[in-house]
Structure 1
């Protein structure tokens, strides 16, 4: 996670992020979802709240003055996907895949380190068996995705 944080901060000309989340906001998010965040995602949300870099947008957790105390990002999108598309209760929405699907963490497959694997989920499918594996945990997945996005962005700018 520290490599990802450094990557985002060292590319602040193509990254946008919030101020991060404090312990109270994280606890409220987890309570609303009924799931704890895995360590790498928790660290990311603590640091940035929400973030996009080189076109890759991570939902995170944040609030806006217009929406008041409502927790936006992963919390809102997860709850909406559960009610509208029957997203499994053990999943947390991280991103949109750009093709109508969702990138999710699956808490039902918690590893020894407390991390959850990352999957693509198609709202047209029902159940955890319909998840397509993308990474062993958020930190590895996000770092790889962001390194590639930054490289593509920088190459296209030259």
Structure 2
């Protein structure tokens, strides 16, 4: 994953408060893959390894809380994906990375892989139960845009 420290510094300078869940171990990232039955793209694995999840307060990226992949709390990849699957018919190929106020649901789409094994980030319409559009070509691009828009 690219070095985002300069972008993160710019976000802080813009008076945005940041909160990170803390790094997730390889074992817990592998466990998350096992319980979701999907291989995560390398850029998202690296994000989880470095930050665990989180970001700007009230706009946090889903992650692994307390280095425990199976926690089903809101704000965790597992919890947000499970909620969207149970309540909004989220297809199995979509993995939630951003879930806000039961209105916004952005996901990694594991059914569409590029040559480097990365998945696009797509917007899932919770009310119409379908993908609306592609937000970014990869999680890495999504994270860069996420930070730049808040800097």
Name the residue aligned to 1:154: none
Q: Is the 8 A contact 1:54 1:146 kept in 2?
A: no
Secondary structure of the residue aligned to 2:149 is helix
Q: Does 1:92 align with 2:91?
A: no
Relative to structure 1, is the Cα distance of residues 51 and 33 closer, same or farther in structure 2, using a 3 angstrom cutoff?
Answer: same
Aligned length: 146
Larger radius of gyration: 1
Q: Is the 8 A contact 1:55 1:149 kept in 2?
A: no
CA RMSD in angstroms, aligned pairs only:
2.6
Tell me how far 1:60 sits from its aligned partner. 1.3
| In structure 2, C-alpha distance between the alignment counterparts of 1:99 and 1:82, rounded to whole Å | 12
Q: Within 5 A, what are the aligned runs for 1:25-104?
A: 25-53=28-56, 56-63=59-66, 70=71, 72=73, 73-97=76-100, 100-104=103-107
TM-score, normalised to structure 2, is: 0.83
Distance 1:91 1:68, change over 3 A: closer
Gaps of 5+ in 2: none
Q: Which runs of 4+ in 1 moved over 6 A?
A: none
TM-score (norm 1): 0.80
Change (3 A) 1:6 1:38: farther
Structure 1's unaligned 5+ residue stretches are 151-158
Greater fraction of residues in helix: 1
Partner secondary structure for residue 56 of structure 1? coil
